[in-house]
Amino acid sequence: MSTPSNEFAFELRVCRWAERHWPPDGERAGPVIVARQFGAAGRRWDTIVIECDPDELGERAAFGQERLDGDLLDVVRYAPAEWAYYREALPDPGYPWRYVRESIHRADDRGILETRRRGNRIEIRRRFSYPDWVERIVAIENKPDLDASAARALSDQLERDVAMGLADEVWIAIEADDDRVSAALFEDVPVEAGIVEVDSTALTADVAWYPRTLAVDRPGTRILERPDGGAHDASAAQFEYVEASEKRERRLEIAERAYERGWRSYVDTMRPDCRHFEGRTDGQLLPYCRAKGRQPTARECAGSCPAFEPEPPTWRTRGWPIEGGPGARIKQILADRRERRR
Ligand code: SF4
């Protein structure tokens, strides 16, 4: 039976495996960006993999490490090569122009757009073309010890993912330690979802079931409510259509957030400044709590943890052993790795 702690450990290992070895079968075509605990369209995906075009990803760097949110994307993608009045250069946003002006100023402050005033008009000119850097988006649910009942519980979420078609592929990653991939499990998971068995120690993987590519360029269906399937439940499922253009926007926003965060950002919300926190290496630098005697989850190792104790001030003042205590070091190491991946 998996606990939140070993689910978290498995998730970090899956992220590491995906970063090194994605795709699970065949050659890697270009760089990938991996992110975890990713909320999108009312869902939280455990892991996402963004497959990128190498040249275009390089051009994305000109826009900085921070993500571009939907409003900034509306500006920088359409900014003209020559000076023009912003209302004539940009497509009608579908929301008041004053918000566009705010986005223009934000883009200017970030150095990714040029602006000037002509009378009482704001003119804009692009600094860089926004590249088409996202090839495919893959969502992975991590279930280290998936059994038939867990598969049934998961199937509702996966069916929603399949109906929406926001990701190109949806996978379940399970721990490759026995013969759990039984016929029962296949029956309970939508056929469109792939199943990959990940050996979280050796960081290898085998595909047990290949996913179907989802129609990301076509309108999707958002399932709002569905009957519970009980004997007396005759209600109809409720759903709404989602335009292909809206999906395109959402996908780009997802990719931008992944670009900013990566998967090592969990340390940003954990308490490496706690005296019980340390980084342990098991082929991969992972957080460890000495008070709990195990790896803490990102949720429990937070400001509300009752066992939190601040690290001794001497760890900070004596430059332990390089700068700050062990918590500061792990934070720095993970930040460096994040940066290098980018
Ligand atoms: S005691 Fe709490 S805050 Fe400190 S390392 Fe452990 S889980 Fe994190």
Q: What does the DSSP assignment read for 98-138?
A: HHHHHHHHHHHHTTSEEEEEETTEEEEEESSPPP--EEEEE
Q: Phi and psi of 233, rounded to 5°?
A: -95, 100
Looking at the structure of the chain, the number of domains it has is 3
Residue 259 lies in a domain: no
Whether residue 41 is contained in a domain is answered as yes
Give the C-alpha distances (Å, rounded to integers) separating 222 from 31, 126, 241, 242, 246. 30, 36, 6, 7, 12
Domain end (from 86, 104, 126):
126
Q: Tell me, what's the pLDDT at 325?
A: 57
Q: Which atom of ligand 1 is nearest to the CA of 276?
A: 5
pLDDT in tens, 44-86: 889 999 999 999 999 999 999 999 999 999 999 999 999 999 9
Average pLDDT of 227-246? Answer: 72
Beta strands in the chain (DSSP E): 32-40, 43-52, 84-85, 113-118, 121-126, 134-142, 169-175, 194-199, 204-209, 220-225, 238-242, 277-281, 285-289
Least confident among 23-32, 200-209, 266-275, 318-327: 318-327
Does residue 287 surpass a pLDDT of 70? Answer: yes
pLDDT of residue 313: 66
pLDDT at 320: 46
Residue after which a domain boundary falls, among 244, 276, 303: 244
**What is the token pair recorded at 226?**
């569905």
Q: Are residues 193 and 295 in the same domain?
A: no
Q: Return the DSSP state at 274.
A: B
Pocket lining: 326 vs ligand 1, CB cutoff 6 Å: no
Task: Return the pLDDT at 235.
Answer: 62
SS3 at position 202: coil
Nearest CA to ligand 1 atom 6: 289
From atom 4 of ligand 1, which residue's Cα is the shortest distance away? 308
pLDDT of 105 above 50: yes
Residues 17 and 69 in one domain: no
**With a 6 A CB cut-off, is 267 part of the ligand 1 pocket?**
no
Q: Does residue 214 share a domain with residue 145?
A: yes
* Ligand 1 center–CA 101 separation, angstroms: 44
Whether residues 68 and 105 share a domain: the answer is yes
Pairwise CA distance, residues 106 & 112, whole Å: 9
Q: Is the CB of 59 under 6 A from ligand 1?
A: no
Helices in 121-243 by DSSP H: which ranges? Answer: 148-164, 183-188
Q: Which atom of ligand 1 is nearest to the CA of 300?
A: 7
**Gap between the Cα atoms of 161 and 63, Å rounded:** 30
Domain that holds residue 276: 266-341
Q: Is residue 301 part of a domain?
A: yes
The alpha carbon of 300 and the centre of ligand 1 are apart by a number of angstroms equal to 7
Q: How many angstroms is it from 260 CA to the middle of ligand 1?
A: 26
Are residues 294 and 189 located together in one domain of the fold? no
Average pLDDT of the chain is 86
For 10, 81, 172, the CA distances from 62, given in Å and listed in that order, are: 34, 16, 34
pLDDT band at 233 (very low <50, low <70, confident <90, very high): low
Please indicate, yes or no, if residue 111 is contained in any of the structural domains.
yes
Closest to 35 in 3D by CA, of 163, 156, 186, 137? 137
- Nearest atom within ligand 1 for CA of residue 287: 5
Do 175 and 191 fall into the same domain? Answer: yes
The answer for residues whose C-beta is within 8 angstroms of residue 102's C-beta and 6 or more apart is 71
Residue 322 has pLDDT above 60, yes or no: no
Q: Is 251 a domain residue?
A: no
Answer whether residue 225 shows pLDDT above 80: no
Element spanning 86, H or E: helix 86-89
Q: Which of 280, 299, 300, 330 to mutate to test the pocket of ligand 1 (most atoms within 8 A of CB)?
A: 300
Same domain, 75 and 139: no
Same domain, 143 and 91: no
Residue with the nearest Cα to atom 7 of ligand 1? 301
Cα angle value 134/140/141 (rounded, 5°): 155
Same domain, 31 and 76: no
